[in-house]
Structure 1
């Protein structure tokens, strides 16, 4: 079924391309672009039998051309007689291609180009011999046919090279896109694992407290029911902790296998983020403009964590627009004395003064779905603060004015990065 579809494509495209031509040598003999198209398909559809494909194409193409010639000639039989010799051209072309290239184990573009030149030239001789009834072929005709074969071979070569270049370009674009996605996914993954590690310590603390409660209940001779309940709680917390740590270790192994990149330049990190965020803005049809300025360049070893922190701040700013028209999110990275300063600002709805003291608390969020009433989990800014303070030994500050916008400033010691 697949081969039948491919043959159908070859026949249709070759027939259509046969209308791109110019008259040459003798009346009724045309030099058509269809031969170039046919050769390109033979190169790409390597599984097709060239003889069968050539015969089918050689039958259909003349019939198609006859239909176009009929209005000017006025007689379909005469139109068909004019185009029928092309059957010999395609048949000869297919046979030569089959025996000289298709069955050859060693195939490359150079051999292909030499062969289609020969196929074009000798097939033209066969066709023109039939048209002239093997009379009237002279050295000038042969020279012209050589020029035609050379010209069509050159056209085929240019098209094939262009196709290869375009294909490699698409593959490169696809690989770059996958790389960006993988970097962003790993960044989020590692940051979430870091947050889970911090939670593991809190689970440990809850477990200690629950055992302390059990000991107090036991010493003070409370009821057996209460004593058993507190012991069950302590045991449950312990089991939850074990399962939690097991899952966390598995995720860490996966994250460590994702990408092995020791250092990244800050400009490369920002380029990846900018492409991702622009795609998000277009997808969500948001009226938000980005203004990213990186005034210095340096290597970052913990690049996944830094990427996650900056990304969280930028998306926090985008969400703060609340569908505002002409939203603007600015990112500026500069060097100031012994620190690198990262500034993310927006012209969004701002944060009320009463909430400013709580925005870094775990679980705090002012974002909710107006239709469902669901509140966001609110770990974005908490994660950013923890990463900045624990991983980069830096500090984060926030300034905001209601209905004016918000500015987050991150300051990280310069000695943590390599220039």
Structure 2
């Protein structure tokens, strides 16, 4: 089925390209762009037998021309004599190509170009001989056909090289897109693992307390039912802790193998984040403008965590903007004194004064799904604060005017990045 589709593609494209031609040397002998198109297909569709596809293409192209000429001229014999040599041209072209290039099965562009040059030249000579019945052919005609063959082979080569570089460009672009996604996913992954590590310590504390309760109940001679219950709780917490740590270690191994980048420049991180955020805005059909600027550039070793911090703040800003107004989210990165200062601001709904003191608390969230009523889990800003303080030894603050704007400011020591 795939071969049939490709044969049809060749036939249709060559027929369309055959309309671009000019008369040459004698009446009925034309130089068409279709030969260039046919050669390009021969190079790319290596699974098609060139002799068969050449004969099929020659017959269909000649049949189309026959019907076109016959509609305006009823002289069947003249029209037949005019279009038949074209079938022979394609047949000879396919046969020569088969023996010069196709049988070798190696995709050598230099050899291919030389082969189609000879195919073009010899096929044209044979077609011209048939049309003139070997009368009137001279050295000038042969020279002109050499020039034509050289020109069409050169055009074919240029197009194939252009196609090759275009494919490489697309592959490079696709790889860059995958790399960007990998950086973002890994940063999310690592920040969540960091949060899980903190939770593991809290689970350990709960387990220790539950065993303490069991010991107290045992010493105070409380009923066996209560003693057994406290022991079961302690055991359950211990099992939960073991499963939790096992999952966490597995995720850590995956994230460590995911990408091996020791450090990144801040400008590259901003570019990756900006592209990702723009894609999100377009996908969600949001009326939001991004204004990302960095006044300094430096290498970041813990770039996954820093990416997670900035991305969390940027997406918080996006979520804070009412869909009815034109939103603006700004990111600024500056070096002020001994600190790098990251600020993320928006012109969204702002944060009420009563909530400002609680936004970094675990579980606190003012966001909810209007359709389901589900409240967000509320660890975004808690995680951001923990990462800023624990990983970067910095600080985070927020200023907000309700229904006007919000600015989150992160400050980290310059020495942390230069050490």
TM-score of the two chains, using structure 2 as the length reference = 0.98
| 1:77-124 CA-partner distances (Å, limit 9, x unpaired) | 543331111111011101100011011254411111111011000000
Does the aligned pair in 2 maintain the 1:59–1:87 contact within 8 Å?
yes
Q: Deviations over 1:324-347 (max 9, x none)?
A: 421000000000100000000000
1:239 aligned partner: 239
Matches within 5 A, 1:328-343: 328-343=328-343
**Residues 220-261 of structure 1: CA deviation (Å, up to 9, x unaligned):** 111111111111010000000000000000000000001111
- CA drift at 1:67: 2.4
Q: Distance in 1 between matches of 2:285 and 2:358?
A: 31
Map of 2:312 onto structure 1: 312
SS in structure 2 of the partner of residue 372 of structure 1:
coil
- Is 1:213 matched up with 2:200? no
The 3 A distance-change label for structure 1 pair 69 and 266 is: same
1:64 deviates by 1.2
Partner in structure 1 of residue 367 of structure 2:
367
Worse-matched range after superposition: 77-86 or 153-162: 77-86
Does 77-86 or 250-259 show the bigger shift? Answer: 77-86
Report deviation, 1:76.
5.2
> Which whole-Å CA distance do the structure 2 matches of 1:188 and 1:78 have between them?
75
Q: Deviations over 1:176-227 (max 9, x none)?
A: 0000000000000000000000000010011011111111111111111111
Are positions 1:346 and 2:341 aligned together?
no
Structure 1: distance between partners of 2:254 and 2:323: 37
Alignment length (residue pairs): 419
Secondary structure at the counterpart of residue 400 of structure 1: strand
Q: What SS does the aligned partner of 1:359 have?
A: coil
Structural mapping, 1:162-177, within 5 Å = 162-177=162-177
**Residue of structure 2 equivalent to 1:187:** 187
In structure 2, distance between residues paired with 1:412 and 1:105: 61
1:278-333 C-alpha deviation (Å, 9 max, x unpaired)? 00000100000011110000000000000000000000000000314210000000
Question: Could you tell me how far apart the structure 1 residues matched to 2:75 and 2:40 are?
Answer: 33
Q: Tell me what 1:51 maps to.
A: 51
> d(CA) in 2 for partners of 1:75 and 1:192?
81
Partner of 1:137: 137
Tell me the secondary structure at the aligned position of residue 111 of structure 1.
helix
Distance 1:132 1:46 in 2: 35
1:110 aligned partner = 110
Distance 1:78 1:319 in 2: 75
In the alignment, is the contact (CA less than 8 A) between 1:63 and 1:80 conserved in 2?
no
CA distance in structure 1 between the partners assigned to 2:179 and 2:107 by the alignment = 33
CA distance in 1, matches of 2:69, 2:173: 45
Give the Cα–Cα distance (whole angstroms) in 2 for the partners of residues 268 and 284 of structure 1.
24
Specify every segment of 5 or more residues in structure 2 that has no aligned partner in the other structure, as ranges: none
Check 1:75–1:362 CA distance in 2 against 1; reply closer, same or farther (3 A cut): farther
For residue 176 of structure 1, give the secondary structure of its aligned residue in structure 2.
helix
Q: Secondary structure of the equivalent of 1:328?
A: strand
Mapped to 1, the partners of 2:288 and 2:27 lie a distance apart of 65
Cα distance in structure 2, aligned partners of 1:77 and 1:273: 70
CA RMSD of aligned residues (A): 1.2
Q: C-alpha distance in 2, partners of 1:292/1:262?
A: 24
**Any residues of structure 2 matched to 1:380-419 within 5 Å, and which?**
380-418=380-418
The two structures have a TM-score, normalised by structure 1, of 0.98
Match of 2:275 in 1: 275
